[in-house]
């Protein structure tokens, strides 16, 4: 049977704030990275990657805490940890590529593509870590749109990282990045279609009939 999820809007707002703060911190650290050399360069690079990748990962799982369905959901520990390493790694790669003095528009686009695919991969890996009595499929249009949003947000983040923006510009950029990263997540969640296993259809029928009105969650599978 199709399952419909709902969102806690307090946690949704918290997830957007975390994405915004992570973006601001990463942009600030990336600016320091470009002014450093030697081991300091590597230290600022690692810090920026952890701030951006770890912040995006934290945003994802807080957003998943905000999401509820009429069935129990657990997470595979290994896949969850891998979904943390992936965005940190691709963010480090992106910042490193655009941080080189000879990096141009081609390097920016290529590194943004890799970083965006990695961030989208983090989301879908985190979704694959879900353990529940339901099957998960995706609406291909909205899934593709979520990947495009992740790539676009990554290119913008890397471009801003090499510009050496002022405090006001960083604040505006962080707000835009926070909304973009969150938009990627919630677009991907809109693409998610949860279908309950037949053996729990009757057990979940009552709970499903009493569920709250759909809000930003997954959509029922098509008949």
pLDDT at 211: 33
Strand partners, 192: 138
Least Cα distance to 178 among 10, 24, 58 occurs for 24
Report the chain's mean pLDDT, rounded to a whole number. Answer: 80
For residues 11 and 217, the answer to whether their CB atoms sit within 8 Å is: no
**Residue 58 has what pLDDT?**
92
Q: Per mean pLDDT, which range of 54-68, 102-116, 128-142, 183-197 is the poorest? A: 102-116
pLDDT at 208 over 60: no
How far apart, in whole angstroms, are the C-alpha atoms of residue 154 and residue 149?
A: 8
Q: Given pLDDT bands bounded at 50, 70 and 90, which one contains residue 165?
A: low
Q: Are 22 and 54 in contact (CB under 8 A)?
A: yes
Q: pLDDT, tens digit, for every residue of 60-110?
A: 999 999 998 888 888 999 999 999 999 899 888 888 887 766 667 787 888
Cβ(217)–Cβ(188) below 8 Å: no
d(CA 206, CA 75): 25
- Decide if 127 contacts 75 (C-beta within 8 A): no
Query: What is the separation of C-alpha 188 from the centre of its chain, rounded to a whole number of angstroms?
Result: 9
For the chain, first and last CA: distance in Å?
10
pLDDT at 216 over 70: no
Task: Compare 111 and 147 and report the one with higher pLDDT.
Answer: 147
Task: Compute the radius of gyration of the chain from its Cα atoms.
Answer: 19
Q: For residue 131, is pLDDT > 80?
A: yes
Q: Do the beta carbons of residue 67 and residue 5 sit within 8 Å? A: yes
pLDDT number for residue 168: 73
- Check residue 199 and give left, alpha or beta (phi > 0: left; psi -120 to 50: alpha): alpha
Say if CB 214 and CB 4 are below 8 A apart: yes
pLDDT score of 13 = 93
pTM surpassing 0.95?
A: no
Note the residue count of the chain. Answer: 223
- Predicted confidence band of residue 164 (pLDDT cuts 50, 70, 90): low
Tell me the pLDDT band of 159, cut-offs 50, 70 and 90: confident
Least confident of 9-23, 87-101, 153-167, 183-197: 153-167
The mean per-residue pLDDT over the stretch 186-211 comes to: 64
Identity of the highest mean pLDDT range in 31-45, 94-108, 138-152, 189-203: 138-152
């Amino acid at each position: 049977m199709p399952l419909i999820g709902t969102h806690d809007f307090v946690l949704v707002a918290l997830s957007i704030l975390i994405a915004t703060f992570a973006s601001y911190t990463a942009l600030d650290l990336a600016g320091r990275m470009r002014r450093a050399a030697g081991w300091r360069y590597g230290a600022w690079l690692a810090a920026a990657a952890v701030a951006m990748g770890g912040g995006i990962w934290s945003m994802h799982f807080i957003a998943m805490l905000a999401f509820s369905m009429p069935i129990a959901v657990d997470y595979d520990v290994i896949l969850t940890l891998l979904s943390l390493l992936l965005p940190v790694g691709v963010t480090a790669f992106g910042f490193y590529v655009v941080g080189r003095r000879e990096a141009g528009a081609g390097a920016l686009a290529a590194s943004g593509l890799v970083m965006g695919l990695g961030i989208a991969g983090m989301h879908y890996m985190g979704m694959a870590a879900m353990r529940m009595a339901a099957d998960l499929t995706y609406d291909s249009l909205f899934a593709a749109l979520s990947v495009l949003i992740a790539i676009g947000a990554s290119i913008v983040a890397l471009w801003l990282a090499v510009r050496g923006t002022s405090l006001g510009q960083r604040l505006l950029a962080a707000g835009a990045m926070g909304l973009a990263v969150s938009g990627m997540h919630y677009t991907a969640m809109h693409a998610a279609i949860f279908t309950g296993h037949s053996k729990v259809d009757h057990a979940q029928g009552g709970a499903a009939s009493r569920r709250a009105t759909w809000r930003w969650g997954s959509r029922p599978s098509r008949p």
